[in-house]
Structures are given as structure tokens and as C-alpha cells.
Amino acid sequence: MTQPVQGSQGEQELAPANQVPAPARDITQLPDLASAAGRVGPVRTRMPVYLDMLPPCNAGCPAGENIQEWLRLIKHGQEEAAWRQLTRDNPFPAIHGRVCYHPCENVCNRVELDGSVSIHSVERFLGDTAIEKGWSFEKPRNNTGFKVLVIGAGPSGLSAAYHLTRLGHQVEIRDSGDKPGGMMRWGIPEYRLPRNVLDAEVKRLVDMGVTITLNHTVEDLEKERSEGGFDAVFVAVGAHLSKRVDIPNQDASRMVDAVSFLRDVASGERPVLGRKVAVYGAGNTAMDAARVARRLGAEESVIVYRRTQEQMPAHEEEASEAEREGVKMNWLRTISSMDEEDLTVEIMELDENGKARGTGKFEKLEADTVILAIGQDADTRFLHNIPGMRFNGDVVNVDIETLMTDVPGIFAGGDAVPSDRTVTIGVGHGKKAAKQIDRWLNQYIGEPKVKHPVVGFDDLHLWYFGADHTRREQPELADDDRHSFDEVVGGLSADQAVFEAKRCLSCGNCFECDGCLGACPEDAVIKLGTGHRYRFDYSKCTGCASCYDQCPVHAIEMIPEN
């Protein structure tokens, strides 16, 4: 009788029944423990470290807000602390919560799950709560003895004055208008920004110690700087001058520029426009002008633009809101002439490079009034007599790092320098200029701060977060009710604001979920108490990376042991 045995080459052979089978062999190759490089070994080759990385919302905010931190404070029911954290960078949360185009939300990692966090609506909630409860800014405790002149009481000038005052400098704003706010007051309609909100947030700056001199047009800057004893100047004039276009017409009274039109309406006037209004241009100002025309009784308000909708300079949400309110869009059209009853518009087409060109074909468009909204220029003419100042059209050349012009001690920002013209960018410029003016006054030369890497969606381990917590939406007036200048968009309730804050993924920054504490097999993670996070006991850590693998927000990184 025979039975199979394993041969030397793996094939089966027949062995006699009385022969004892060879003992089984373990064919698994044993590792060399002195040189193996697995997850763990006799010698640790890598180690975990806690770190703070840059959330995309913070990186995307032109005003430089620490968005993630004030959202964290709201999560824990600390509303006033959240407001004070926010206003360390931006003094106007109630304004920004209404008019900012929230680029922070465009880069929010949560958009990959169930929609970005509604950051702007939570910011508005904090701003409105502060107004309701009368929260105020602390007055500066020190006085540096330096005086700074700010030209322009718009978002950039007001922001610079706020930050300079916090640093202990004496600040005076001089503005040619009869009320502060710049384009926030004269360019943004009340249905987007109620004036009581604007007034409340500006008043805090005055109560804090900022001096605002109105109805004062600066014509000779060097003279005002010398006579006032100012040590530095920040130029923050707005883009109040409408660009002109030569359109043959028989009645110039039927053609108005958008900036003057919006300013007149903001001042309380109600100009008569007729039944049909054409707005020439497709920027944000054009959309506002078209929507205001509807509120003033125009039965038809039409945007006329020489390019396509994809090429319009207006933000998409502005155009969408205008269409909801009955504004019509007439793309690839340019106005050639204006007669007594109508317009002659030329039909355009795009060439191979995407540029609009005329086709030689024309059509008629009825219009009682034409509002020109083809762009604005900053009024920087008063700077042209200063030796050494350089310009690029209507804007001043500045150092992009310091915002200082070629003339020492004169800085500029907002609409007066090359940049996109939004409230948030202007406020960011004011903050940046204030820091640089402070450095220049104190003759401080320091190394620029190096920013942490931005955390992307793929860097996160989202076991901790659900994907079914949909965004809370703000209430809005129904389309049929948008006939007045009442505010169109409402605010979140307290519960809704907290819910939105809790949707934040805390990208790149530890929020003390205890995941690392529970995952470590060696008890090498030590909890330091609420608000103090954790530390590693490296005498116990084997470098297994269990803490790193489970960290939902990428607040842990594995680095080489050396």
C-alpha cells in the first residue's frame, strides 16, 4: 500500500506504506528584523507630529479672516468670542455677510460631500447679533504718537483706519461725500445692504476713536500731509468715475451713467426712467442698475452686452438674481446709436479667439432710457502732481507686498490700485496696508511669514463626518414681492447658524475628536485637557501610524525619525 508524499520539486510521489512521511516544512520566509521596513519594527523609522495646516476657506478669504476658528467658537456656543475673533481681521461682518461674493465657499472642501458651509450667512448672523446686542470694539490702550491720514471713507479706507487705530495710531479719514461708506453706500442698493446696518458698523469705528471728516475733497495731498502733521498716508479713493462711450443720440437726457444713477437713488431720489430701460454693460453695477430700474417702475429692463453670458464680468449669482426679478439679457449686442424712440444695436459674433466682432447686421430695441454701465475709473487725479508717483491708467503703482507707492510714506489700496474691485478685497487691502504702515513707521524689517500648506479634500479621512447634513438656506422674498427696496435675503436663526458652523470639517486643524487617543495601541497619545489638544509620548510610540490613518482632518503627519 502506498500514500502520496511531497517530492523535492513539489510533485506528488508514491511512498511505501511502511515508510514514515517527511516532516512538514514552513516555507514562509522569515524577515530580517534588523533591516525590515514595515509599519513597525525593532527600530522606529518614522514618527507622528501634530500640526496646523491652512484651511482652504482661510486661504481663499481676501479679508484674511480666520474663518475656521470663529466657526469653531460658534460650535461651542461662544457667539461674542466668535465675533471678536472675526473682527480681529474684518470689522464689518454684518456688511460682508450680505455683499461678499464668498470665495471662501467656492473652495470649501465640504462641497465634495453635500455642499459648502454657508460661511457668509453665519458671518451675517454674527454681525447682526453684535448690532442687536450692542457689542463694541475696545479702545486702544496705547498711543504711539504717530498720525496717519486716510483718503476715502469706503471699505478699504475704513478698514485701514480700524486696524491702524487698534495698533495705537491716531487716524483721520477725509472724504468728499456727506456720509461715510463709499461705494457700500452709494453703489450697493438698499435691498442688498440696508443703510442701518452700514451705519451701525461704521459707528463702532467712530466710537473706537477714528475721526471721519466729511465733505472734504483732498486736492493737494502733500500740503494736507504737511499741515496736518501726518506721518503716513493711505489713499483709498473709490472708482466713482463712470467710463464713457460715444453713442450718437438725439437726446442726451435719455442717457445716464450707472454710478450717478445708483448714487441718486441711494440719496433718496426717484428718477423717471420710462417704461423701457436698456442697461449697457454686464458687470455687477449693471445688474444692480437693471434691478433698481425695475423697482422704480420700468416694465422692461434689458441688459445689452457685446459678449456672451460666459464672458460677462458680473458674478453669476448677480445675473441670476436679476433674471429672477424680470431683467432680460441681450447677449452679443452692441449699441450703435440712439434715436427718439429706440436703439440701433449691432449683432456681434465671436471670432476664433473668442473676441466679439461686428457682423454688419442691425436690429432695433425699444428704450426710453439707456443706463451706461461699462466700467468705472478711480479718481486719482489729485496724485498726479506728486513727484515720483507712477500710474497705470487710473490706478497707482504700488509694491504688491507693502502697498506703498514709489513715494515713501504714501500707501494705496482698494479701487486705487490694480485689483478686482469688491468690498472684501478693499477691506483686505486696508488690513494689509495698516500692518505695513505700522512697520514703516516703526522702521521694522522682518521676514515674511511662511504659510502652511493648504489642505485638500483628498488629504482628509472623513470617517468622522456624515454626508447627509445639507446646507441651511437663507429665506428670501418671493420674486413677485421684490418691488420695493426691502431687503431681499434674510438671515439664519441662531440654531441654523450653529448647525452650519458644525458642518465645518476643521480641515488641517485638530478639533479634539479623541480619534488618535483611541486608535493608539501603545497608549502613546496623551490628552492635555479641553482646548489644549494632545501630545505624543515618543518613548512608547512605535511609529505604526494608526493615529495618522484615522485622523479625520489631517492634523497629524508622519515624518522620518531623523
- Domain spans of the chain? 44-50+508-558, 54-134+460-501, 145-239+377-440, 241-374
- Rg for the chain, CA atoms, rounded: 32
Reduced to 3 states (helix: H, G, I; strand: E, B; else coil), residue 322 is helix
List Cα–Cα distances, 246 to 312, 334, 337, 338, 365, in angstroms: 21, 12, 9, 11, 18
Looking up cell 479719514 gives 173
Domain 54-134+460-501 is of which CATH architecture?
A: Orthogonal Bundle (1.10)
pLDDT tens digits for range 230-252: 999 999 999 988 888 888 876 77
- End-to-end Cα distance, the chain: 65
Query: What does the block give as the cell for 141?
Result: 490702550
**Residue 149 belongs to what H/E stretch?**
strand 147-151
Phi then psi for residue 206, to 5 deg, are -65, -45
Contacts of 473 (CB under 8 A, 6+ apart): 118
Query: What does the block give as the cell for 189?
Result: 442698493
Cα–Cα distance, 15 to 10 (Å, whole number): 14
Q: Would the pTM count as exceeding 0.75?
A: yes
Query: What does the block give as the cell for 146?
Result: 504717530
pLDDT at 253: 77
Which class would CATH give 241-374?
alpha beta
Cα–Cα distance, 190 to 16 (Å, whole number): 103
Cα angle 255, 257, 263; round to 5: 125
Residues of the chain with pLDDT under 70: 1-41, 250, 466-468
Cα–Cα distance, 322 to 500 (Å, whole number): 27
Q: In terms of Cα–Cα distance, which of 524, 528, 519 is closest to 548?
A: 519
In this structure, the number of other CB atoms found within 10 A of the CB of residue 347 comes to 13
Looking up cell 494689509 gives 432
Reduced to 3 states (helix: H, G, I; strand: E, B; else coil), residue 441 is helix
pLDDT at 6: 43
Q: 511 burial class (0-12, 13-18, 19+ CB within 10 angstroms)?
A: middle
Query: What does the block give as the cell for 187?
Result: 453703489
44-50+508-558: what fold?
Alpha-Beta Plaits (3.30.70)
Cα–Cα distance, 272 to 214 (Å, whole number): 30
Note whether 337 and 249 are within 8 A (CB).
yes
In this structure, the number of other CB atoms found within 10 A of the CB of residue 457 comes to 15
Find the length of the chain: 562
- Beta pairing partners, 526: 535
pLDDT at 562: 77
Cα–Cα distance, 135 to 141 (Å, whole number): 18
CATH number of 145-239+377-440: 3.50.50.60
Cα–Cα distance, 329 to 319 (Å, whole number): 9
Half-sphere exposure of 559 (CA within 13 A, CB side): 9
One-letter identity of residue 343: L
**Fold matches, 145-239+377-440 and 241-374:** yes
pLDDT tens digits for range 283-335: 999 999 999 999 999 999 999 999 999 999 999 999 999 999 999 999 999 99
- Beta pairing partners, 392: 395
pLDDT at 19: 52
Q: What is the 3-state secondary structure (H, E, C) of 284-330?
A: HHHHHHHHHHHHCCCCEEEEECCCCHHHCCCCHHHHHHHHHCCCEEE
DSSP symbols for 158-170: HHHHHHHHHTT-E
Reduced to 3 states (helix: H, G, I; strand: E, B; else coil), residue 21 is coil
pLDDT at 3: 46
Q: In terms of Cα–Cα distance, which of 367, 434, 446 is closest to 89?
A: 434
pLDDT tens digits for range 141-199: 889 999 999 999 999 999 999 999 999 999 999 999 999 999 999 999 999 999 999 99
